[in-house]
Amino acid sequence: MSLKKTKKKGFQTLISIAVIGIAVYLGFTPLFSLTPEGVPQAVITSSFGAIFVIILTMYLLNKQTEVEQESKRGQKIFEEKIGLYNEILNTIKSMLSDGKISEEEINKLPFPVIKLSMLADNQSISSFVEVYSKLNKIYQNSEDDSVDITDEEKDSIYRLLIAFASHCRKDIGISEEDIDTSILSNTVNTIIESTKKKRDYTKFNFNGKDLSKNRYVYEVISTYVKDKSPLCINEFNKIFPRDLKGKSNSDELWKTYDEAIKHYEDTGYTRYFISIDQGKDKKAGKPIQGKELVINLDDAEVCISNQWDHKGVKKFIEKIKEEKIRFE
């Protein structure tokens, strides 16, 4: 039975109790006085009592059913809201993690907004619309399929997300009040500071060009291979050992093309130079087009790591100095 029908039946039972109560109040005394004493009076008294108890019991049972249905309904809505809020935050998390808004990601947001309109309160809906509008504005500012998010834009998005989370916690009943303004401000500032890292923009000169760390390593190796061609993979590995940079699967100096593609498909991150436009493709399952940055050996295709810190480049330079390879 639906909750609406249960409430209707309960209301009808309540009216019946009221009618019987009034009828008993107005008619029981005359009826009782006209009934012979003894068994007849006892029968009438017990009958009225039984009828009243039966109807009252029906009302209480109906009320219990109504409460249970309301509880189940509330639990189901609560679970739907939690799932929806997690879906929204995970979608935006993927955008902020790689610092880009892709067409695929921005196209995921309209349906959560529609779901919010069905499940959330007005404040939560309004708060998320501000987040959505900000993301959409950033994406619309460029004609590219994937748009970079600046640090200032990230700061603004984090502030809007914290405000949205504050309304969400009220909506799901965790608190009856918004997060205190001072707590909200401190939370936002802490998140912003934790996501900012001082970056090393040191440039390395090679062939008359100032290059970033990862591009410097790539140019040194690719130039050497061109000068020494043909070069097989065993000879290449002697000069540039795969584990020179690190021994973990994600930290090798180079991988074969097939290994680099598999690593990308498994992790969703392009840790190796493969294609010129690979920066747009950081979501697993979306194939990388092109091989412009793949280095061709005589018997293999290799991809050089694009993840370098200053210490790693210094170690690389020490190695190529030993091999008497040109590094400037």
Helix (H, G, I), strand (E, B) or coil at 150: coil
- pLDDT confidence tier of residue 156, bands split at 50, 70 and 90: confident
174 within a domain of the structure (yes/no): yes
* Same-domain pairing of 241 and 136: no
Whose tokens are 């590995």? That residue is 237
- Domain end, chosen from 195, 228, 250, is at 195
* Same-domain pairing of 259 and 182: no
- DSSP code, position 301: E
Chain centroid, CA 311 distance in Å:
34
| 259 or 34, which is more confident | 259
C-beta of residue 315 within 8 angstroms of C-beta of residue 240: no
- pLDDT confidence tier of residue 21, bands split at 50, 70 and 90: low
- Residue 99: the pLDDT is 76
Backbone phi and psi for residue 269, each to the nearest 5 degrees, phi listed first: -120, 135
pTM, full prediction: 0.44
* pLDDT, average across residues 41-66: 67
* Same-domain pairing of 81 and 117: yes
- Residue 28: the pLDDT is 54
- Residue 164: the pLDDT is 85
| 247 has a pLDDT exceeding 60 | yes
Backbone phi and psi for residue 24, each to the nearest 5 degrees, phi listed first: -65, -40
The Cα 244–Cα 247 span in angstroms is 8
* Same-domain pairing of 168 and 298: no
* Same-domain pairing of 107 and 228: no
123 contacts: CB under 8 Å, gap ≥ 6? 167, 170, 171
> Whole domain around residue 75: which residue ranges?
3-195
- Residue 284: the pLDDT is 46
The Cα 306–Cα 260 span in angstroms is 11
Chain centroid, CA 112 distance in Å:
12
- Domain end, chosen from 158, 174, 195, is at 195
* Same-domain pairing of 180 and 261: no
133 contacts: CB under 8 Å, gap ≥ 6? none
- pLDDT confidence tier of residue 230, bands split at 50, 70 and 90: confident
Peptide bond into 230 cis (omega under 30): yes
- Domain end, chosen from 144, 164, 195, is at 195
Report pLDDT digits (tens) over 159-217.
888 888 888 888 877 766 766 666 666 666 666 565 555 556 788 899 888 998 889 99
* pLDDT, average across residues 74-97: 80
| 86 has a pLDDT exceeding 80 | yes
235 within a domain of the structure (yes/no): yes
328 within a domain of the structure (yes/no): no
240 contacts: CB under 8 Å, gap ≥ 6? 221, 253, 254, 319
* Same-domain pairing of 92 and 112: yes
Instruction: List helix spans (H) across the chain.
Output: 3-34, 39-98, 103-106, 110-119, 122-140, 151-171, 181-195, 213-228, 233-239, 257-267, 310-322
* pLDDT, average across residues 261-276: 84
- Residue 91: the pLDDT is 80
C-beta of residue 227 within 8 angstroms of C-beta of residue 298: no
- Residue 149: the pLDDT is 81
The Cα 131–Cα 170 span in angstroms is 18
* pLDDT, average across residues 126-147: 82
The domain total for the chain is 2
Whose tokens are 């390593």? That residue is 217
288 within a domain of the structure (yes/no): yes
